[in-house]
Amino acid sequence: MTGTILGAPDVARALTRIAHEIIERNDGAADIVLLGIPTRGEPLARRLAQRIADVESGFDAADRCGSLDITMYRDDLHKQPTRSIGATTLPAAGIDDAVVVLVDDVFHTGRTIRAALDAVKDLGRPRAVQLAVLVDRGHRELPIRADFVGKNIPTARSERVAVHLEEIDGEDAVILTGGER
Amino acid sequence: MKHLLGTKDMTREDAVLILDTAAQMAATQEREIRKLPTLRGKTVVNLFFEDSTRTRISFEAAAKRLSADVINFSAKGSSVSKGESLKDTALTLQAMGADAVVVRHWASGAAYQLAHGGWLHGSVLNAGDGTHEHPTQALLDAFTARKHLVGDPAGKGLDGLHIAIVGDVLHSRVARSNVHLLTTLGARVSLVAPPTLLPVGMGPWPVDVFHSLDDALDAADVDAVMMLRVQRERMTGGGSAFFPSPEEYTRLFGLDGDRMARLPEHTIVMHPGPMNRGLEISAEAADSPRSVIVEQVANGVAVRMAALYLLLAGEEQA
Amino acid sequence: MSDAFVIKGASLYGDTVRDVAVVDGVIVESAPASAVVIDADGLVLLPGLVDAHTHLREPGREDAETIETGSRAAARGGYAAVYAMANTNPVADTAGVVEQVWSRGREIGLVDVFPVGAVTVGLKGEHLSEMGAMAHSRARVRCFSDDGVCVYDPVIMRRALEYVKSFDGVVIQHAQDLRLTQGSQMHEGEVSAELGLAGWPAVAEESIVARDVLLAGHVGSRVHVQHVSTAGSVDIIRWAKSRGINVTAEATPHHLLLTHEEAKTYNPLFKVNPPLRTSEDVEALRDGLADGTIDIVATDHAPHASEDKDCEWAAASFGMLGLETALGVLQQVMVDSGRMTWRDVARVMSETPARIGRVEDQHGRPLEPGEPANLTLVDPKAAWTVEPAALASRARNTPYAGRELPGRAVATFLRGVPTHLDTRFEGVFA
């Protein structure tokens, strides 16, 4: 099953569905803040915010969206070459008492999300934290689950899942490569 | 990066990386909870052979905000009363499991020797060695200048800026580190000092030299003025004084209200501290809204967090 | 010492192949049939080397070197005699101390140790020491130096120059303006500016050299300039000689090879006084040595205990080892480059140094029958790598560790006694 798993229309449909699920789950979007995890979580968060704004009047996409760099909270820093640190930007109103939806492209071991939860804790006290991902490829190493999933893709550990996004890569696609077949 | 010993051989790429990382660190320091878990389990030793409370607490704050354990090791002793040798001290720190050693030393080259002596495995951060280098001070100066003078600074250097460094260049590790770093980042640097306080052999340095502050200000607009501290002992010492009197020094090199008035509107005033008010800088200049001297201190913590992060966070390097 | 031996096949001064026979410590016309044969094919035979500038550290710093370990290092380096500098503890400023050093040297018997007397009491530069007493002692001191410090006061320098005339002595000057070099750590120039190490300006040497040659000319005495390190000093000495002033000068192997660039590693092994200078200075020294302006090569062998070198540059002692490496360095710099012959090497490392110290009746003699058999056999093809731990000196502070030198002394004889034999000659005298 290597090759392009999701094309641009699939990505768009998945995001639209997730946006609606977020609204439904939270009885509207009143307290929703979307925090994208760099790099590709950021544009995904912006797209979700835009889709929510499209259906929820009073939801200002630019004002409810931010980015959450988790580099300094990672538990594997000492196992890799030094990573450069990305920006963390929060909505002007902060995240206290908000419902924070963390947004990432690929959900894998859960360690990134663990780091993100720690980072959120240092930034304020949200009423709830939820997780939206475009792809869930399995192989969890921590008791963490996603609230909103674009597509579940069963993978081998040796395979690689690459998410391409228009804003960064010039196209929307999810591509599976590598692995022993 | 394994060590941070000086700015002489630092690439522009590395310098910009440190400044960009410092910018992210500075952002975290505006939060309510300023502590980050990044260097949990790492041990940073502040090894000070020379008193410098300011530099030590800046490094200490930086390490603690990144959750490293900090051990302060004061190994005072002049060149005359040597006390424990650098080598034995290094072996002690190695035995304690220091991941990084922040070293301030009266001897030029001590940080280099500590890093290359084969005595310890950890990273060495030079917090000022004799009259050689003080790289984190230069980095915080560059960071401060970039923040004020460069729009949308991430990823950028100091290209096209003109920075004047005024005072005792001969004995200043801050000046040496700044000359290398600021020029690497694309700035033009002018040194302003009496010839007695400039080193013989600075011919290859990529700088302009002036022997009075007015001459320097006449020659070209400056974007930043960095005033160096004049050490008291340079004025005395019998027949060995480097200039005739403090009054004459102030007349020729002091930054006062009149000279402030001649600076372009956007020009900032920097000083590594501690200041000699009334000697190299007047109270009017030091307290002016264009003075970024207090901000330099805050930026110092961010820059040192960045340096510690970049040296310690990644996998161990050979 | 009744052994008879014959050195077969060596090239005398590198230009004349002839067998040299020795009986009872003296070179003879022909050896008896029973003489031991030393196969010296391809080797160069020189008169035993004489080092005009050695620090043996005894008495006082026997942890760094002793007369015995220093003598062994000298013999290994090809030396048959050394002049031992006076900056010991106690200072060699009395007849008692110089006689003790001299007789200890004799006792050990590996090289002739000629003590140098201090010019001033305690090297303090204030009062002349009793030079006459030292001259008339058993040590027969002719060389006087405050080496380590400069005889700075011009009046004291003048008086010393005048006073030594009475016994044909020489004042050996460590030329360093003390005021211009307070706290100095290395050559003042581009490297010191970059490294932030206090500079030792060339002018601090040159101004004293100029003063001293003028003083020597004025009072008609003899001055010897130690460890010339700058191009300016070479010029001044050349000028003084052209004026007929009685000045001699030495260059050290390290000043002929190394430059201030070595300081960039802050390795105190390269800290020396006077400091390593620029490549232009090195070139001027080589020129001066080749044209005779600089009379001799002297080692300034300066052993230091490891704790005095294994430390910060500014806290480290000045000085480096030299006895065991001098010949190899000189061969590399001057002989292999074609600028000097082995005959020139004999002149600058044996004959002239003997003459300066007025021991030319014993050392630096021609390789002729009737002369004392003070001999050095050099293998100019025995390339070797300097290993500090393998040196005979008690100290380890060689700046040449890991460096390859093109040749070395493979045998040294003092009055016919082998004081150093390479492994290739093992058992020859058994």
Question: What is the tens place of the pLDDT at every residue in B104-115?
Answer: 999 999 999 999
The reply to whether B135-296 shares the fold of B12-133+298-312 is yes
Among candidate residues B12, B40, B54, B116, the one labeled active-site is: B54
Query: Any catalytic annotation for residue B188?
Result: no
Query: Can you spell out the DSSP letters for B28-80?
Result: HTTSS-----TTTT-EEEEEESS--HHHHHHHHHHHHHTT-EEEEEE----SS
The amino acid at residue B204 is: P
Mean pLDDT across chain C: 97
Interchain touch B–A (≥3 Cβ pairs closer than 8 Å): yes
Measured over the CA atoms of residue C310, residue C312, residue C317 and residue C320, the dihedral's sign is: positive
Nearest residue, CB atoms, B21 vs list A78, A85, A88: A85
Query: Can you spell out the DSSP letters for C377-421?
Result: EEETT--EE--GGG-SSS----TTTT-EES-EEEEEEETTEEEEE
- Contact by Cβ (8 Å): C113, C69: no
**CB-CB neighbors (< 8 A) of C266 in chain B:** 108-110, 112-113
- Confidence (pTM): 0.92
Across residues B153-175, what is the average pLDDT?
97
Interchain touch A–C (≥3 Cβ pairs closer than 8 Å): no
Q: Which letter does DSSP use for residue B278 in this model?
A: T
The DSSP H or E segment spanning C95 is helix C95-108
β-sheet bridge partners, residue B101: B45, B124
- Span of B73-82, C209-218, C312-321, C338-347 with lowest mean pLDDT: B73-82
Residue ranges per structural domain of chain C:
48-364
- Span of B27-41, B157-171, C311-325 with lowest mean pLDDT: B27-41
By the CB < 8 Å criterion, does B49 face chain A? Answer: no
φ, ψ of residue A106 in degrees (nearest 5): -120, 130
How far is Cα C151 from Cα C208, in angstroms, rounded to an integer? 9
Q: What's the pLDDT at B78?
A: 47
φ, ψ of residue C67 in degrees (nearest 5): -60, -35
* Res. B280: pLDDT tops 80: yes
CATH tag for B12-133+298-312 (out of 3.40.50.1370, 1.10.1070.20, 3.90.226.10, 3.40.50.970): 3.40.50.1370
Q: What's the pLDDT at B80?
A: 43
**CB-CB neighbors (< 8 A) of C202 in chain B:** none
In the CATH hierarchy, which fold is given to the domain comprising C48-364? TIM Barrel (3.20.20)
* Res. B67: pLDDT tops 90: yes
Q: Are strands C4-8 and C36-39 parallel, antiparallel or unpaired?
A: parallel
| Rg of chain A in Å (alpha carbons) | 16
User: How far from C239 is each of C111, C215, C232, C296, CA to CA, in Å?
Assistant: 35, 14, 11, 17
DSSP helix, strand, coil percent of chain C (3-state; round to 5): 35, 20, 45
Contact B201 C313 (CB under 8 A): no
Which segments of chain A are extended strands (E)? 3-6, 32-36, 65-67, 99-107, 128-136, 148-152, 159-164, 173-178
By the CB < 8 Å criterion, does B317 face chain C? Answer: no
How far is Cα B69 from Cα C376, in angstroms, rounded to an integer? 63
Residue ranges per structural domain of chain B:
12-133+298-312, 135-296
CATH number of B135-296: 3.40.50.1370
**pLDDT tens-digit series, residues C39-95:** 999 999 999 999 999 999 999 999 999 999 999 999 999 999 999 999 999 999 999
| B170: Cβ contacts below 8 Å, ≥ 6 apart | B131, B193, B196, B197, B198, B199, B242
- Contact by Cβ (8 Å): C200, C271: no
* Cα-based angle C77, C225, C344 (whole degrees, multiple of 5): 50
Q: What's the pLDDT at B236?
A: 65
By the CB < 8 Å criterion, does B314 face chain A? Answer: yes
**CB-CB neighbors (< 8 A) of A120 in chain B:** none
Q: Token pair of B222, please? A: 């400056």
Q: Which letter does DSSP use for residue B277 in this model?
A: B
Across residues C146-151, what is the average pLDDT?
97
How far is Cα B121 from Cα A50, in angstroms, rounded to an integer? 51
CA distance C204 to chain B (A): 14
Q: How confident is the model at residue B314 (pLDDT cuts 50, 70, 90)?
A: confident
Task: Give the end-to-end CA distance of chain B in Å, rounded to a whole number.
Answer: 10
Q: Pick from C368, C421, C428, C279: which is nearest to C47 by CA?
A: C368
Query: Can you spell out the DSSP letters for A85-112?
Result: P---B--TT-STTSEEEEEEEEE-SSHH
CA distance B165 to chain C (A): 16
**pLDDT tens-digit series, residues B122-134:** 999 999 999 999 9
Domains and CATH numbers, chain A: 10-155 (3.40.50.2020)
* Res. C2: pLDDT tops 90: no
By the CB < 8 Å criterion, does B307 face chain A? Answer: no
How far is Cα B231 from Cα C233, in angstroms, rounded to an integer? 35
How far is Cα A74 from Cα A121, in angstroms, rounded to an integer? 14
Q: What's the pLDDT at C1?
A: 42
**CB-CB neighbors (< 8 A) of B314 in chain A:** 77-78, 80-83
**pLDDT tens-digit series, residues B235-266:** 765 567 899 889 999 999 999 999 999 999 99
Q: What's the pLDDT at B317?
A: 60
**pLDDT tens-digit series, residues B70-86:** 999 888 754 444 567 88
